Amino acid sequence: MNPRSIYFIVNPISGTNDKEQIIKLIPTFINKENFDYQIHYTQYAGHAEEIAREASHNNIDIVVAIGGDGTVNEVARALVQTNTALGIIPCGSGNGLARHLEIPMDAAGALKVINTCLIKELDYGVINNHPFFCTCGIGFDAFVSSKFAEAGKRGFLTYLDNTLKEGLKYKPETYHIVLDDDKSMEYEAFLIACANASQYGNNAYIAPQASMSDGLLDVTIMEPFSILEAPQIAIQLFNKRITENSKIKSFRCKKIHISRKSPGVIHYDGDPIEASNEIDVEIKAKGLKVIVNEGGGKYAMPLVQMFADFYTEIAQIKEDWTQIKDDIWQFRDEVRDKRKQLLKKNKEIIRKIRSGDIKNNKTD
């Protein structure tokens, strides 16, 4: 049997891992008798999609994205409805698609998955003609995605910082929804997320039961909530229990039409774009070939590497948690200050009313 052909597409500037170290591992974990591979480096935004599209036209069997979520999504968009399969070596901060597919986060484990080469046909979604693979969204998550893109700095803490800062300012909208050209409803919503996979990334599960092989979208509607309710929602988002919250409405469908009062931002896999007041989302069943982790098992790393990664991860968690606690305390202090200002203003108004300074419900 002829060896399968692989393009490894490397984004040298995206993500968090040392790409050259990953490249050095390829000969160790990829069987030369079964695979014939080439390595291609991206040089500009959109280049990964161009290389992947060229690969599919040249009947390359597999294209492996080595980079962050942006690189993975670029490659995947070029491979939909083709015979070329997507492989992933996750190097980003979110790694939403890789995490959903249970691809190991270490390069050696991810390369072992590619070497096993179990290929399945999975679903993908389309929002206003833009393919997505994990989630698309309207409302607050799209708003935060646009702020995240403007920030210039990537990573979970940047996303968290934007979420905390912008959460108090964001106003829910009213949306008219039609499911599968049949069921019609209207919601005032903080956000509407349409999921093909279970999470945004960073193990934030907006649709815990979503499957990439059921031919259905998992739609999550988050209704307006108070500041006091926000922490519980955040906790449930990360422990896969978001659908248990009373502010969450969820359902499944093949397609959904959403109308809003005016144009605005939407996102697909975290990429924000401006869109009209009419939004169409649908699932494309079994339209993308993907190398998946056989049985969802975890590949064992060499012992030394395992301990090194363990202590690195612990140090990063400690640093991240310190920053998260600081952000939460700052957020709480801001809320407390606003509450004090409001109470002070109310007392002043009451004092003026009692003293006769205010008449006919008018203030100075």
Residue 256: what pLDDT? 97
Residues 93 and 190 in one domain: no
Which among 221, 246, 280 is the end of a domain? 280
Range of the domain at 110: 4-116
- Which long-range CB contacts under 8 A does 152-161 form with residues at least 24 apart? 154/68, 154/92, 154/93, 155/93, 156/93, 156/94, 156/202, 156/320, 157/320, 157/323, 157/324, 157/327, 159/202, 160/324, 160/327, 161/327
Interval 289-330: pLDDT, tens: 999 998 654 444 444 444 444 444 444 555 555 666 666 667
Whole-model pTM: value is 0.76
Res 180 pLDDT > 70: yes
Answer for the pair 260, 173: CB distance below 8 angstroms, yes or no: yes
The single-letter code of the amino acid at 280 is: D
Of 51, 86, 116, the residue that ends a domain is 116
Helix, coil or strand: residue 303: helix
> Which CATH number belongs to the domain containing residue 112 in this structure?
3.40.50.10330
* Contact indicator for 315, 145 with CB cutoff of 8 Å: no
Q: Are residues 106 and 140 in the same domain?
A: no
Q: What pLDDT score was predicted for residue 317? A: 52
Q: Which region holds residue 116: left if phi is over 0, alpha if psi is between -120 and 50, else beta?
A: alpha
Determine, yes or no, domain membership for 295: no
Q: Which residue has the higher pLDDT, 343 or 215?
A: 215
What percent of the chain stands above pLDDT 70?
79
In a domain, 344, yes or no: no
Measured CA angle at 294 (ends 293, 296), to 5 deg: 65
Please tell me the predicted confidence (pLDDT) of residue 344: 79
In a domain, 310, yes or no: no
Residue bearing tokens 């969820």: 250
* Helix axis angle, 107-116 to 19-29, nearest 10°: 40
Best mean pLDDT range from 142-156, 246-260, 283-297, 310-324:
246-260
Give the Cβ contact number of residue 260 at 10 Å: 20
> If pLDDT is split at 50, 70 and 90, which confidence band does 127 have?
very high
Q: Average the pLDDT over 167-182 and give the result.
A: 86
90 and 214: one domain?
Answer: no
Q: Is residue 51 part of a domain?
A: yes
Mean pLDDT, range 182-208, rounded to an integer: 93
Are 4 and 38 in contact by the 8 Å Cβ rule? The answer is no
- CATH number where 149 lies: 2.60.200.40
SS3 state of residue 291:
strand
Residue 27 tokens, joined: 């000969």
| pLDDT of 128 above 90 | yes
Residue 336 confidence class, pLDDT cut points 50, 70, 90: confident
Q: What is the pLDDT of residue 295?
A: 64
131 three-class SS: strand
The answer on pLDDT for 362 being more than 50 is no
Q: Is residue 315 part of a domain?
A: no
- Is residue 153 pLDDT above 70, yes or no? no
Residue 127 DSSP SS3:
strand
Indicate if 100 and 215 belong to the same structural domain.
no
Is 50 exceeded by the pLDDT of residue 7? yes
pLDDT, residue 301, reads 43
Average pLDDT, whole number, for the chain? Answer: 84
The residue type at 44: Y
Residue range 208-245, pLDDT digits in tens:
999 999 999 999 999 998 878 888 888 898 899 999 99
Q: In the predicted model, is pLDDT for residue 11 greater than 60?
A: yes
Residue 316 lies in a domain: no
> Is residue 27 very low, low, confident or very high in pLDDT (cuts 50, 70, 90)?
very high
| Residue 201 pLDDT | 85
More confident residue, 101 or 146: 101
Whether residue 186 is found in the same domain as residue 94: no
The domain total for the chain is 2
What is the percentage of the chain residues whose pLDDT exceeds 90? 60
DSSP codes of every residue in 201-244: STT--SSTT--TTSS-EEEEEE----GGGHHHHHHHHHTT-GGG
Last residue of a domain, one of 257, 280, 303: 280
Asked whether residue 254 is domain-assigned, the answer is yes
Give the per-residue pLDDT at 158: 45
pLDDT for 157 equals 46
Are 185 and 175 in contact by the 8 Å Cβ rule? The answer is no
pLDDT, position 348: 76
Note the pLDDT of residue 319: 56
Top-confidence residue, 112 or 157: 112
**Least confident interval from 43-47, 104-108, 335-339:** 335-339
Least confident range from 119-123, 138-142, 146-150, 337-341: namely 146-150
Count of Cβ atoms closer than 10 Å to residue 161 Cβ: 20
> Cα–Cα distance between 109 and 95 in angstroms, integer?
15
- Same domain for 99 and 162, yes or no, is no
- Least confident range from 154-168, 185-199, 334-348: namely 154-168
Any domain includes 291: no
